[in-house]
Structure 1
Amino acid sequence: MAVLSTGPIENSPVGGVRSIQQITVKMLNRDPANFATNLIQGFFLNGLRTLYVLEEVFLAPNTVVTKNYGANLDAYEFVFTTSAQAEASIDISVWGKSGSGAIIGVQRIVADEQLRS
């Protein structure tokens, strides 16, 4: 079982508007033959760590799955728990997007930047 975390991400309002309104998670299973599952947990960080996303995603061999979640929050964290035979072949990226859907480059985390626990 592999556990990856974005760590806490600050998203305070500037001029009354938060730059990140939506989170896009992309999951890639590079294994040509084996399946994997990925448990996605999203936490709202407001003095407490409050779960607001809980979803299990099935990743077929050699596929990409994209999920979108709301993120109009002061701070958040996403944790991914991957299991099954293909767990070593799973890459995950997290992209912060504005209300219009534009990617905010400073709030993106790709596979090599995630914290492993």
Structure 2
Amino acid sequence: ASCDGLLMVGDDQGKNFVLNPVTGEIREVPRSPFALDPHESFTMYGFGYDSASEDYKIVSISYYDTDNECGYTGNEDEPFCTEMFVNLYSLETGTWKRAESSPYDHVVGHVTSGASVDGYIHWL
């Protein structure tokens, strides 16, 4: 993900970084204290600029499958049952917080990173 020339990248160890390719500065993003187990969940990231707080933010949308809890029969035509969590990271304060609620839904199995356009994050 990128915004205003800054890049958010991840490595094969599950760590995330914000990179400024012009200055060469690299900042590791700490793992969210609200993060779900990566072996039992899916996570999508978005990166953008919040003009209201004049801060760059990372949005983490994580969800896990709860099909066994909702009586999923294995029929591919039935929607999957999931539990979703949205977390926000502030580059200015270096802290994570959990969003109380989100108006957004997701597509199970379609894990992508968000794209920043004019500072707004869009998932394709």
| Shorter-chain TM-score tier | 0.3 to 0.5
Q: Which has the higher strand share?
A: 1
Which structure's CA Rg is the greater one?
2
**Per chain length, whose mean CA-contact separation is higher, i.e. which structure has more relative contact order (CA < 8 Å, sep 6+)?**
1
